[in-house]
A and B are shown apart, each in its own frame.
Chain A
Amino acid sequence: MKNKKLIWILLLLALWQAVALSGRVSPLTFPSLGMILKALVSSIMAGELLSQTVFSLVIILEGLLIGTLLALVLAIVSRTGDTMNSFVDTLITLAHPLPGIALLPIIILWLGTGRSAIVFIIVHSVLWPLLLNIIAGFKATPKLYSDVGRNIGLRGIKLFYDIYMPSSLPYLISGFKIAWARSWRALISAEMVFGAVGGKGGLGWYIFKQRVFMDTAGMFAALLLIMLIGILIEEVFFNKIEKQTIRRWGMAEK
């Protein structure tokens, strides 16, 4: 499976290079792999690409953290009774279909265009899918586990933490996968719209700036980096977590 993917990637790269070198396309629209790689290396060496990437990743982490905490709190609240359950359900119904970018004009009015606005968008794109998955995970927790938990003396928050949480881990992980993908996309788009404050605007801003200065190779270099980070997180990070938890525990088929 892995090898097949690699072959496809190599073929696509070859196709790219063939088109770039055909002489029929301008390097302004279709830079060669060499130009892209050179741009990647030089912008990394210059430090800016990496510092913008770190800026973006820190924002993502912040948004993920706040979003996760909120999702957990809301999930617990939703289990305290029918009233709260329907309240949280309503919130999800209303907010989940809203793309973060569509909220942008309102966020600018409320929070301005600074860092907090982007964090807000990330939180929004993380919170709802995660909350949905956590609740689904709780619902899917076998009664057997909670019976066992109550039998050995677990109650309330301890029951929640020791039984419901690990039992919904497969849902939690897939929730995180969705949350990561959404927040990463939302971040890049928000950064492209918001522009930079004090020169720091993240990867999205970096791409926008390369566009403004017509550095097409530099744009693709940043895109390449975005892809690499995406692959790294999805294929390596989540894969590793799954291997060490739910696959090891035989819970992955859910």
Chain B
Amino acid sequence: MIELKEVNKSFKRDQDTLKVLENISFTVEKGEILCILGASGSGKSTLLRLMGGFDFCDSGSISIGSEAVVSPSPDSILIFQDFNQLLPWKTVLQNVIYPMKVNKKYGSEQQRRDRAMEYLEMVQLADFYNAYPHQLSGGMKQRAAIARALALEPSILLMDEPFGSLDALTRQSLQELLLQIWKRAGVTIIFVTHDIQEAIILADRIIVMDNKPGRIKDIVQNSFDRPRDISGGDYLELYHRLYSMLSV
């Protein structure tokens, strides 16, 4: 459904040209969770931005369905690592309603409001609907951002280490939450992370990125049944395999 063909991307810094991505090709199936696992500097965030249409690749092509990605679209929403992705001048509820309103989803404000409240309940933020973003904790902000993205009913969620700055406990509960939502919404998720454990818990497939320039080292199938308990021996084996790939 999403197809990348021989994507290359480099950035100019002063006189130097820095190659960030080299010959990236893969496809994403509808409804799967694909994790892009790599150390920092592997170009994984850049890759995600290209897929979201926020940047152009130097060569190669990215398409969703049969259409080339040329600009950001409400059909594939990017969720950032930065907690400040909510608009500070809107309440949590307004933050969720606003994108629906821009895209003229649902006929009336009341319907949009009802839908927004549903999604806020889904991410367990209903009690905070009237709060402003600066009054929320980091985990709450990320939950609100997920609710805002889901309310648009996009077919793709692009997640750029969204739980990367959270403490371990919060991260775990958000991972569980994401999986629940994914089951209900049937959305395709491309999830960038540097956390091997996170990739194992979430992904159907894991793309392991090589460093400088970013290249695909391997694509690993992860077909353990969900929910996954990563303390088991099989998981550990996968963990070590991924770990050794990353540390070379």
Contacts and interface: CB of A to CB of B under 8 A. Distances in A.
Interface of A: 142, 144-145, 147-148, 150-154, 158, 162-163, 166-167, 169, 245, 248-251
The 8 closest A-B pairs by CB, nearest first: A250-B134, A152-B99, A166-B89, A150-B72, A151-B72, A249-B88, A153-B74, A249-B89
Nearest to A163: B87
Given A150-B71, A167-B89, A251-B88, 14 more contacts: A147-B78, A150-B54, A151-B54, A152-B74, A153-B72, A153-B74, A166-B87, A248-B132, A249-B88, A249-B89, A249-B134, A250-B133, A250-B135, A251-B134
A245 B52 CA distance: 32
Given A166-B89, A169-B89, A144 B72 contact: no
B103 interface: yes
A151 B87 contact: no
Contacts of B77: 151-152
Contacts, number: 58
A154 B102 contact: yes
A2 to B, nearest CB: 25
8 contacts: A144-B80, A145-B87, A148-B87, A153-B72, A153-B103, A249-B132, A250-B134, A250-B135
A250 B74 contact: no
Most chain B Cβ neighbours within 10 Å, of A150, A152, A163: A152
Contacts of A167: 87, 89
B100 to A, nearest CB: 9
B85 to A, nearest CB: 6
Contacts of A251: 88-89, 134
Nearest to A151: B72
Contacts of A142: 84
A146 to B, nearest CB: 10
B82 interface: yes
Interface in B130-151: 132-135
Contacts of A250: 88, 132-135
A144 B85 contact: yes
Contact of A147 (B72, B88, B103, B135): B72
Interface string B26-51: 00000000000000000000000000
B73 interface: yes
B242 interface: no
Interface string B81-116: 010110111000000001100110000000000000
B78 A152 contact: no
Given A144-B80, A144-B84, A250-B134, A151 B74 contact: yes
A152 B52 contact: no
A144 B82 contact: yes
Given A153-B103, A250-B135, A148 B89 contact: no
Nearest to A252: B134
Contacts of A144: 80, 82, 84-85
Contacts of B89: 166-167, 169, 245, 249, 251
A163 B98 CA distance: 12
B103 A152 contact: yes
B152 interface: yes
A150 B78 CA distance: 11
B134 A147 contact: no
B129 to A, nearest CB: 16
B18 to A, nearest CB: 19
A169 B135 CA distance: 19
Given A147-B72, A251-B89, A153 B102 contact: yes
A145 B132 CA distance: 16
- Most chain B beta-carbon contacts within 10 A, residue among A153, A162, A245: A153
Nearest to A248: B132
A9 B129 CA distance: 44
Nearest to B83: A144
Contacts of B133: 250
B214 to A, nearest CB: 21
B62 to A, nearest CB: 16
Nearest to A169: B89
Interface string B48-65: 000010100000000000
B145 to A, nearest CB: 9
A147 B72 CA distance: 8
